[in-house]
Amino acid sequence: MERYTGFYIDKPQGNNVFSYEERENKKIFVPKLIEGTLEDVKVGDNIVFNEIDEDTEIKAKGLKNLVEYKLGNKTIYVFDNHNHAFYFWNKSLLKNEFNKGCKLVHVDQHKDMREPDNYNVNIENLDDVFTYTNEALNVGNFIQPALKKGIFSQAIIIDSSYGFDVEVDEEYVLDIDLDIFSKDMDYIPYDFRIDKIKKLIENAKVITIATSPYFIEQDYAIKVLKELFNCDIIE
């Protein structure tokens, strides 16, 4: 049974911890997961990330739905808040879509390498993984548990122009945060970023993609997403 059915988090946990006490809005939405294509990746009406920035409360809307789709033999997951990647890595691992202990290539404006409060999760049990992903993890701390649990042997972080010079010969899962295309990253030429990520897409076993509300404007993130997957990459 699909666990991502569309639900609210109203306690100060998961991504709802940020500035919880100071905020007017006390709940965030986690959208439903559907099977579809890039055409199904659309901005929704619900607040999925809420933070206070310089005394202003930012209520960031996320995706209408989280989307799982197949492109050739690859499974691709598109979601808004980045911590959902942890759940989808485990889901793919249990389906043998990649080998446990391969590399993670993480393309992101941020390293996302903070430590969570605990590592109390059984990665063999997707119900447990789902609860842990949504209650214990947030957008900044979802990679360390994947390393600690041996899902990946190494995280290769690409968060700068020289980071894109990396060559990965071994098996890897590709994790993209579309905030790599935020205005703060415009010192790296746009076409350079697009071309480098397209090459990484070609050889990835599984791909997880965050649209990152609050960190990048969502309509623009979706436009970039569609450009990354123009149909001549993978037949």
Please tell me whether residue 135 adopts helix, strand or coil conformation: helix
Structural domain includes residue 15:
no
- What are the tens digits of pLDDT across the range 172-217? 999 999 999 999 999 999 999 999 999 999 999 999 999 999 999 9
Question: Which of helix, strand or coil describes residue 19?
Answer: coil
Q: Which range of residues forms the domain containing residue 157? A: 65-228
2 lies in a domain?
no
pLDDT at 231 over 70: no
Take residue 167 and report the two structure tokens written for it: 């060559």
Give the model's confidence band at 230: pLDDT under 50 very low, under 70 low, under 90 confident, else very high.
confident
| pLDDT given at position 136 | 97
Count of Cβ atoms closer than 10 Å to residue 135 Cβ: 13
Number of domains in the chain: 1
Q: Is residue 149 part of a domain?
A: yes
User: What would the pLDDT profile of 7-55 be if each residue is shown by its tens digit?
Assistant: 999 999 999 999 898 898 999 999 999 999 999 999 999 999 999 998 8
- Averaged over 149-166, what is the pLDDT? 96
pLDDT at 67: 98
Cβ-based neighbour number of residue 159 at 10 Å: 18
Domain CATH for 136: 3.40.50
- pLDDT tens for each residue of 59-94: 999 999 999 999 999 999 999 999 999 999 999 999
pLDDT at 132 over 90: yes
The conformation of residue 178, written as its DSSP 8-state character, comes to: G
- Of 62-66, 121-125, 165-169, least confident by mean pLDDT is 165-169
Q: With respect to residue 170, please indicate whether it lies within any of the assigned structural domains.
A: yes
Residue 25 lies in a domain: no
Q: Is residue 57 domain-resident?
A: no
Asked whether the CA dihedral 196, 198, 202, 208 is positive or negative, the reply is: positive
In angstroms, rounded to a whole number, what is the distance separating the alpha carbons of residues 162 and 85?
25
142 compared with 230, residue with greater pLDDT: 142
Taken in order 160, 86, 218, 29, is the CA torsion positive or negative? negative
24 is a domain residue: no
Q: How far apart are CA 12 and CA 116, in angstroms?
A: 14
Q: What pLDDT was estimated at residue 1?
A: 63
Task: Classify residue 48: in a domain, yes or no.
Answer: no
Identify which of 224, 229, 219, 221 has the alpha carbon closest to the alpha carbon of residue 69: 229
* Sequence letter at residue 219: D
* Cα 50 to Cα 62: distance, rounded to the nearest angstrom: 11
- 152 pLDDT tier (thresholds 50, 70, 90): very high
Residue type, 91: K
